[in-house]
Structure 1
Amino acid sequence: MSQQDHGPLGNSLSLAFVESLYADYVRDPSSVSSDWQTYFRQLTASAGRNGYAQLGPSFRPSGLFNPPSAGGQNRTHAPAVGLSDAVLQHRTDQLIRNFRVRGHIIAAINPLGFRRTEPPPEILPEFYGLRDADLDRQVSTERIEGIGEEITLRKLLDLLRDTYCRNIGVQFMHIDDLAVREWLQERMEGTQNRLALTREEQFRILTRLTDAVIFEEFIQKKFVGAKSFSLEGAESLIPLLDLAIERAGQQGIDEIVLGMAHRGRLNVLANILGKSPRQIFREFEDNDPEFQLGGGDVKYHLGYSSDWITTNFRTVHLSLCFNPSHLEFVNPVVLGRLRAKQDRTRDTDREHGLAILIHGDAAFAGEGVVQETLNLSELMGYHVGGAIHVVVNNQIGFTTPPEEGRSSVYATDVAKMLQIPIFHVNGEEPEAVAQVVSLALDFRREFKRDVVIDMYCFRRRGHNEGDEPSFTQPKLYRLIANKPPVREDYLEHLLGLGEVTKEEAEQIAIERRKQLESELSVARSDPKMRREGDIHGIWKGYVGGLEDSVPDVDTGIEPERLKSLLLKQTELPEGFRPHRNIQRLMKVRKEMAEGHRSLDWSTAEAAAFASIATAGFRIRFSGQDSGRGTFSQRHAWLHDNNDGRAYCPLQHLDPEQAPVEIINSPLSENGVLGFEYGYSLDCPDGLILWEAQFGDFANAAQVIIDQFIASAEDKWHRLSGLVLLLPHSFEGMGPEHSSARLERFLQLAARHNIQVVNCTTPAQYFHLLRRQVLRRWRKPLVIMTPKSLLRNPRAVSTLEECAEGRFGRILTDSPEEIDPKDVRSVLLCSGKVYYDLKERREHLERKDVAIIRIEQLYPLNNKELSAALSAYPKEAPALWVQEEPANMGAWRYMRVKLGKSLFGRRFSGVTRPKSSSPATGSASSHRLEQEKLMNEAFAEK
């Protein structure tokens, strides 16, 4: 190699090599050639003028000098002639480290063989200038557990290849904590990443593989062309889950919540959850059209729960969450459900519950909700003690290959954001899968962190059974067509070991086919569908259905009790000094509690929370900056102005109170709302709230709203009492901070599936929150919460208004304000615009205009509305007045719901003009629009 060929560093040698060689030179100058000795001497001498204050074992060459070539040999280290023991050990240590870092690159994890076979140079002995003779020299292995103090380098290489380059590839060296890395190294290198299985364990794996294979074969044969989203090609998922549940049971886990998309779901339902095959077959037959008219869901979206009895006779309760086709969006729902179960059983150490999330490779890399969910894992308000992530790596999306579906090497690379191991395993090697499962469960128990298992397999059929995959992947599917089921390969392995006979294996298959034939016979003789998952357990006593099927409840509270609860929240720990403005706030709230001031919005909220918690109902409230409140109104968490310590008065009301959590969420809507929805599914007797920073932000969680919150009762017969707080009103803050898209929730509203409310007073809000937990009717509640009304002196309520009465769905003017017989027109509205209308009415001295507030927009109570209108003359027309454009807000809903004639009187709307954007970005334009709106509302009709 000539000097003219040398690159920026002086020649084409790798920087890593030069650094390594310099380290050798520092230890023993004679260990490198004379040319290299000269180079390093020159470099050291030039350190000062090249900006190197000091040269240590690692450096960046200046480029002033041309390093010597490697003598034209195919290696990057200098010839290792007469390496000292110290130099050999140093290079060996580098080699060990690089196997840990890069060994996964050449691991045989792909059953289809699509994998780079060229090993990275840094795991090759020649990279370090090691000759064949050096491989038989003794090296220290004190950093490797379980193999003694010394071993030949050749045997060490075999050990490292077996550990990191066989059927398991591991990424763990990105973990910063040395203790965690060493724990993993000890567990893997001490066993060469193999699990010693007994004959019984091997037989169990074979049995579970047989269950998986026979189930898929049976479905394909008996229901030709029907969609089932087959597990074929990934049957090792069944023994993986079997082993995981067994291991979890041994570790004291008694509750497992699972989430997965549709691929393989029926197999998991039948062979893991224990759902009766006859019920699955009835769903295929679909001979009971009356069963779920207008509702229900396809069979591969359904959830199920059951009890699993482990081999050591422990009971583990399994819950597979229902899931729509929005693949990964069930992830935060699963974690929320588990967190609720842990909180309910006071498992604060997160030791007795486990989440298992089963992902697809394309979705894991492509869906942003995956990152949002991973980000929740170590946050105090969302931590569940670690989840097991299983990626069923089919190596294809619908028709999209990996190179077109992600920019990363692995589908799981997004998980490297966490300090967790990622195991890549060949799904055609069940015993390697067993090792990974055991290690993953043990890691999770030890460190209470997530773990990722990336199980490489393939998808034998197309995206669904009616799809032809060879249209787009002809080569791939010719290869797949020649692959036998994993059960056959594993059986051959066991036969070779003499651990099982062909007769035993065949008997398992015969019994499984016989059982499925029997279940199908019953299903066809009795096709009547059986409803599963009816309300029971912790949900017993709560109801869904129509609102008028349940009685209203009194939501008042004794005035003295209310006063004491508010006063209690103004008491601070000894020596606690909050910001001076907060001290003034505490003083004002004390005056409100004593009846010297009316209650504002945030104080009514604090009073409602206090009354609910001291009545024994858990409160969980999360959202972006919800502790203080987006508009600096809540101050549920106070901070000492000197040392920053935090104090939440709502947590110190009474020794016997229920827990109160006010949580600042990460900057995430989709993941956090999914988590809170999941929490609400296992906490019927609590008040669970999610607050958007602005109502518009709910847009980013629309899948959770549409596919879970609004439709779960119809699709899956599941109830939820989740509350959504969405700041909403038009106040000149621009198109992105005005509208919570009220119209979208009203469009989703049907069969009393949700409640949509836009209330106007603190007392109304107080009673609404209390009604949500005191009624046995459980439906999601969507509240359009205020912004300017938080401090509007008109939007206040007396202590007595909170202490007495209940939530009013419809509010009218008092007789002192308007004499009904003088009314010439009636304005209907909801929310903040009421105060604008009232102020304009007073300004114009229009005693002939009545205002009716529709506080609960859905379910809309026609009887109450009709009764309110009946007080006014029939000839007085009614106008719906809203701040939103004509194509948004509630106007179109009201027109469809009530028609052109509102109980016999003319009915029209006053709105902003139609628009594709919710609001103007100009404050002056907003004021002009508002003026026009008021003028039209009060124009003579």
Structure 2
Amino acid sequence: MGTAYDVDAKLQELSAQDWSSAGDVKYHLGTSNVKIYPDLGSVTLTLEANPSHLETVGPVALGRVRAKQYYLGDAPETKKRVMPVILHGDASFAGQGVVYEAMQLAKVEDFDVGGTIHVIVNNQVGFTTDPKSSRSTLYCSDLGKAFNIPILHCNGDDPVAVVRAFEMAAEYRQEWGDDVIIDVVCYRRFGHNESDNPEFTQPLLYNDIKSHRRTEEIMAAKLIEDGHASPAELEQIKSKVWDVFEKDYQNAGSYKPSPATEWVATKWEGVRSPNQLAQSKPTGLDLELLRKIGDKLCEVPEGFKLHSALKRILKAKKDRIVAGEGMDWGTAEALAFGSLLLEGNHVRITGQDVQRGTFSHRHCIVHDQATADKHNFLNSLQLGPQETFVAQNSILSEYAVLGYELGYSYENPNALVIWEAQFGDFANTAQVMFDQFISAGEHKWMQQSALTMLLPHGYDGQGAEHSSCRLERFLQMSDDDEDDVPDYAEAGSGKQIQKANWQVMNLTTPANYFHAIRQQLHREFRKPLVIAAPKALLRHKDCTSSFEDMGPDSEFQRVIPERDPEIANNPDQVEKLIFCTGKIYYELLAERRRLGLTNVAIVTVEMIAPFPFDKVRDEMQKYSKVDRGDGVHPGSITWCQEEPKNMGAWAYVRPRMVCVARESLDLDLVVRYVGRRASAAVATGVGKIHTLEQEAVVSDALTGTVSWQERSRASSLLGHQT
């Protein structure tokens, strides 16, 4: 690729700075370089950074290819200008399911890249496993038969055949826009990674390989036999090659490598690294522009036969737009999307049901009931120049589709790329992408991304597979230190987010969601964003926002303080302080209203990670009359959640709340926990049990107390206290 990696410089950087990329082994790094060929001109070669989780990088590379094609004009001809080539091992191609998922995207609208060249380096062994144990098919490439694509088998000892296979594959792909598989049958002379002793497990095979002539010798003998070259000519060629190697080896000692950013596959001009000062732009919008966008969200073409239920939905939306209040979640999202498009930012959202929305809340694309023609509201704003909005339902896959969208997001910092899970629980089938790429990609490879992931989350009695996006997993992967309170001015300025590896949110208002997704592109840095998206709140009567909440003087709120003015303005009357996040807030609110309580303040933590130390400190200071406990047992500062105790945000927020109290208030705090008891399953599937649990959580948070002489929890349905 023509780039170099300076390990010594990386070590110096790690010692000198408080934030840096950790680096990675050289064979995991990505890069990009321009090569000049006499007969082709310039060709940009991009190598995607990748982990050792085999085949995971495939869909990431395809997503970047599709993005490149889009920005080149998104026409059929542009697909010929960008060609994906994916290298596979024989065992991984046959064994890893993500290969099938990625290949299944080949002909899907808005995922089609015009064909991929799949090159299988067929070493006839998977680490130490023989082919008969690593697959059930005759050939490692037989997966291609499911897609009816050409498979070219060639002998790795015949370089001419290999070159012909590559040329044929490239020509076929360019002509027919289809995938091609090249199965290069070869071997590793010295076993796995060319340093592992293969004789332990393949003694007979490697006895044959020891006596097998090298490819160079076989090719030389063939050229001499056919009269294409003499031994002297071949020796001269070898000598020239060795001279080049020797010269480069001697020059390596004085070589001055390019900056580390050479290893970033795509350069993002103007995007700041975590060590550079970055600015943010306001996310609030002019009220008149909000109304204009809102009006367009309610219009369909003349003669378009809309479903009767959608007519009622659009009528209600229009009424809210006119009133400037009562905006629900879907409307706030569409307003944010529309505003970003008008600012020149491409917006793309994919997932299994994103056009309608799993919970029938989005309807960004509607269908004519007579012709099945589609209308895309956000591509029909007619309010001036705008970028394109893509909303595409995907195949029933999380692993490959999430990786694809990550690759798409890598190409351009000025695009909002969103992947939405059907239910947040299903994101666990894409865990490798979260672990290896999204949470750690910037730290390992200096690769920033603003990929936004919407993971529907909330306990509604739907059972263990439809309740939780597993917030605890994303919080565990967050890299802010629980004992390191950042400078409070820094936390408020956004520098804390800039240094973090990603953001994790569980939001409670449509307006805060509006600001959260707009700020993804309104900062001079990019961070992945995980949102525990709502289900019940999509149509909750109290979960609405006004245009004023999205107007010029509004912004994203990391923490939303007590919202009842009577309680917020009389902090000395407050005896209980409850911190929570997400949907449980509205259940606490409803019960507090029913009981007529004015001595309980409820604060929602909207951005859980990186933790809003400064805002939590402010709330603890404000309600100074709340019992802090005795340093051994909790008082009345409570964390309330609907998830089990070993899940949700509790394990993450608890030490950070303790740290805030210790470092800022000189207080040895024991936080009171109110939530479900620890559980192996995420949630019960029995409706009555769910209701009993939910009622117990809400009741104990608002009115419960713990008598340490009698019991450590108010109910067997709840978790134990410290």
Q: TM-score, normalised by structure 2?
A: 0.88
Q: Which position in structure 2 is the counterpart of 1:853?
A: 604
8 Å CA contact retained: 2:189, 2:210: yes
With over 3 angstroms needed to count, the CA separation of the structure-2 counterparts of 1:574 and 1:419, relative to structure 1, is farther
Q: Give me the whole-angstrom Cα distance separating, in 2, the residues matched to 1:487 and 1:896.
A: 62
CA-CA distance at 1:932 after TM superposition: 1.4
Cα-to-partner distance string for 1:658-708 (whole Å, 9 max, x where unaligned): 010000000000010000000000021010000000001110000011100
Q: Which position in structure 1 is the counterpart of 2:689?
A: 925
Matching of residue 824 in structure 1 with residue 583 in structure 2? no
8 Å CA contact retained: 1:627, 1:637: yes
Q: Greater RCO between the two (CA within 8 Å, min separation 6)?
A: 2
With over 3 angstroms needed to count, the CA separation of the structure-2 counterparts of 1:354 and 1:659, relative to structure 1, is same
Q: Give me the whole-angstrom Cα distance separating, in 2, the residues matched to 1:680 and 1:484.
A: 46
8 Å CA contact retained: 1:724, 1:783: yes
8 Å CA contact retained: 1:900, 1:907: no
SS in 2 for 1:888: coil
- Identify which of 213, 223, 237 aligns with 1:508: 237
Q: Give me the whole-angstrom Cα distance separating, in 1, the residues matched to 2:514 and 2:433.
A: 27
Matching of residue 363 in structure 1 with residue 112 in structure 2? no
Q: Give me the whole-angstrom Cα distance separating, in 1, the residues matched to 2:474 and 2:280.
A: 23
Matching of residue 647 in structure 1 with residue 362 in structure 2? no
CA-CA distance at 1:940 after TM superposition: 3.8
Q: Give me the whole-angstrom Cα distance separating, in 2, the residues matched to 1:901 and 1:333.
A: 39
The 5-angstrom pairing of residues 213-292 of structure 1 reads 273-276=1-4, 279=5, 289-291=11-13
8 Å CA contact retained: 1:426, 1:457: yes
- Identify which of 623, 629, 635 aligns with 2:351: 623
With over 3 angstroms needed to count, the CA separation of the structure-2 counterparts of 1:689 and 1:425, relative to structure 1, is same
Q: Give me the whole-angstrom Cα distance separating, in 2, the residues matched to 1:714 and 1:321.
A: 15
- Identify which of 202, 217, 225 aligns with 1:488: 217
Q: Which position in structure 1 is the counterpart of 2:485?
A: none
8 Å CA contact retained: 1:595, 1:799: no
Q: Give me the whole-angstrom Cα distance separating, in 1, the residues matched to 2:217 and 2:111.
A: 43
SS in 1 for 2:671: strand
Q: Give me the whole-angstrom Cα distance separating, in 2, the residues matched to 1:523 and 1:288.
A: 17
The 5-angstrom pairing of residues 520-531 of structure 1 reads 520-524=249-253, 531=260
Matching of residue 756 in structure 1 with residue 504 in structure 2? yes
CA-CA distance at 1:828 after TM superposition: 0.5
8 Å CA contact retained: 1:570, 1:587: yes
CA-CA distance at 1:313 after TM superposition: 4.6
Matching of residue 346 in structure 1 with residue 73 in structure 2? yes
Cα-to-partner distance string for 1:581-619 (whole Å, 9 max, x where unaligned): 001111111111111651011111111111111111000
Q: Give me the whole-angstrom Cα distance separating, in 2, the residues matched to 1:502 and 1:725.
A: 64
The residue identity in structure 2 corresponding to 1:688 is: V
- Identify which of 165, 184, 187 aligns with 1:436: 165
8 Å CA contact retained: 1:420, 1:450: yes
Q: Which position in structure 1 is the counterpart of 2:493?
A: none
Q: Which position in structure 2 is the counterpart of 1:388?
A: 117
Which segment drifts farther, 896-905 or 682-691?
896-905
Q: Give me the whole-angstrom Cα distance separating, in 2, the residues matched to 1:310 and 1:596.
A: 60
8 Å CA contact retained: 2:280, 2:522: no
SS in 2 for 1:879: strand
Q: Give me the whole-angstrom Cα distance separating, in 2, the residues matched to 1:666 and 1:369.
A: 13
8 Å CA contact retained: 1:387, 1:444: yes
Q: Which position in structure 1 is the counterpart of 2:445?
A: 716
Matching of residue 445 in structure 1 with residue 170 in structure 2? no
Question: Percent same amino acid at aligned positions?
Answer: 41
With over 3 angstroms needed to count, the CA separation of the structure-2 counterparts of 1:721 and 1:335, relative to structure 1, is same
Q: Give me the whole-angstrom Cα distance separating, in 1, the residues matched to 2:525 and 2:625.
A: 36
8 Å CA contact retained: 1:538, 1:684: no
Q: Give me the whole-angstrom Cα distance separating, in 1, the residues matched to 2:334 and 2:438.
A: 26
Question: RMSD over aligned Cα, in angstroms?
Answer: 2.0
Q: Which position in structure 2 is the counterpart of 1:326?
A: 53
- Between structure 1 and structure 2, the one with the greater Rg is 1
8 Å CA contact retained: 1:900, 1:906: no
Q: Give me the whole-angstrom Cα distance separating, in 2, the residues matched to 1:765 and 1:274.
A: 44
8 Å CA contact retained: 1:287, 1:528: no
Q: How many residues align?
A: 662
Cα-to-partner distance string for 1:89-127 (whole Å, 9 max, x where unaligned): xxxxxxxxxxxxxxxxxxxxxxxxxxxxxxxxxxxxxxx
- Identify which of 517, 529, 532 aligns with 1:769: 517
Q: Give me the whole-angstrom Cα distance separating, in 2, the residues matched to 1:335 and 1:536.
A: 14
Which segment drifts farther, 871-880 or 850-859?
871-880
Q: Give me the whole-angstrom Cα distance separating, in 1, the residues matched to 2:381 and 2:14.
A: 47
The residue identity in structure 2 corresponding to 1:754 is: W
With over 3 angstroms needed to count, the CA separation of the structure-2 counterparts of 1:313 and 1:665, relative to structure 1, is closer
Q: Which position in structure 2 is the counterpart of 1:843?
A: 594
CA-CA distance at 1:820 after TM superposition: 1.1
CA-CA distance at 1:552 after TM superposition: 4.0
Q: Give me the whole-angstrom Cα distance separating, in 2, the residues matched to 1:537 and 1:424.
A: 34
Q: Give me the whole-angstrom Cα distance separating, in 2, the residues matched to 1:535 and 1:732.
A: 45
- Identify which of 139, 143, 168 aligns with 1:414: 143
Q: Which position in structure 2 is the counterpart of 1:337?
A: 64
- Identify which of 325, 336, 341 aligns with 1:608: 336
CA-CA distance at 1:878 after TM superposition: 1.5
Gaps of 5+ in 2: 16-20, 480-498, 628-635, 707-722
Q: Which position in structure 1 is the counterpart of 2:658?
A: 899
SS in 2 for 1:319: strand
8 Å CA contact retained: 1:393, 1:454: yes
SS in 2 for 1:756: strand
The residue identity in structure 1 corresponding to 2:436 is: Q
8 Å CA contact retained: 2:575, 2:625: no
Cα-to-partner distance string for 1:328-385 (whole Å, 9 max, x where unaligned): 0111001000111111111421121100011001000000000001100011110011
Q: Give me the whole-angstrom Cα distance separating, in 2, the residues matched to 1:803 and 1:595.
A: 14
CA-CA distance at 1:504 after TM superposition: 3.6
Q: Which position in structure 1 is the counterpart of 2:700?
A: 936
SS in 2 for 1:383: coil
Q: Give me the whole-angstrom Cα distance separating, in 2, the residues matched to 1:483 and 1:455.
A: 17
Q: Which position in structure 1 is the counterpart of 2:23?
A: 296
With over 3 angstroms needed to count, the CA separation of the structure-2 counterparts of 1:646 and 1:584, relative to structure 1, is same
CA-CA distance at 1:288 after TM superposition: 6.3
Q: Which position in structure 1 is the counterpart of 2:643?
A: 884
Cα-to-partner distance string for 1:879-917 (whole Å, 9 max, x where unaligned): 111111111111111123233773425422212111111
The residue identity in structure 2 corresponding to 1:816 is: P
Q: TM-score, normalised by structure 1?
A: 0.68
SS in 2 for 1:464: helix
With over 3 angstroms needed to count, the CA separation of the structure-2 counterparts of 1:378 and 1:584, relative to structure 1, is same
Q: Give me the whole-angstrom Cα distance separating, in 2, the residues matched to 1:535 and 1:288.
A: 14
CA-CA distance at 1:538 after TM superposition: 5.0
The residue identity in structure 1 corresponding to 2:539 is: R
Q: Give me the whole-angstrom Cα distance separating, in 2, the residues matched to 1:631 and 1:815.
A: 30
Q: Give me the whole-angstrom Cα distance separating, in 2, the residues matched to 1:297 and 1:874.
A: 51
CA-CA distance at 1:512 after TM superposition: 3.4
CA-CA distance at 1:460 after TM superposition: 1.1
Q: Give me the whole-angstrom Cα distance separating, in 2, the residues matched to 1:535 and 1:367.
A: 27
8 Å CA contact retained: 2:508, 2:583: yes
With over 3 angstroms needed to count, the CA separation of the structure-2 counterparts of 1:724 and 1:382, relative to structure 1, is same
Cα-to-partner distance string for 1:709-732 (whole Å, 9 max, x where unaligned): 111111111100100000011111
Q: Which position in structure 1 is the counterpart of 2:278?
A: 550
Q: Give me the whole-angstrom Cα distance separating, in 2, the residues matched to 1:813 and 1:909.
A: 19
The 5-angstrom pairing of residues 596-745 of structure 1 reads 597-654=325-382, 656-745=385-474
The residue identity in structure 2 corresponding to 1:851 is: I
Q: Which position in structure 1 is the counterpart of 2:619?
A: 868
8 Å CA contact retained: 2:32, 2:265: no
CA-CA distance at 1:513 after TM superposition: 3.2
8 Å CA contact retained: 1:287, 1:527: no
CA-CA distance at 1:925 after TM superposition: 0.4
Q: Give me the whole-angstrom Cα distance separating, in 2, the residues matched to 1:552 and 1:274.
A: 36
The residue identity in structure 1 corresponding to 2:674 is: V
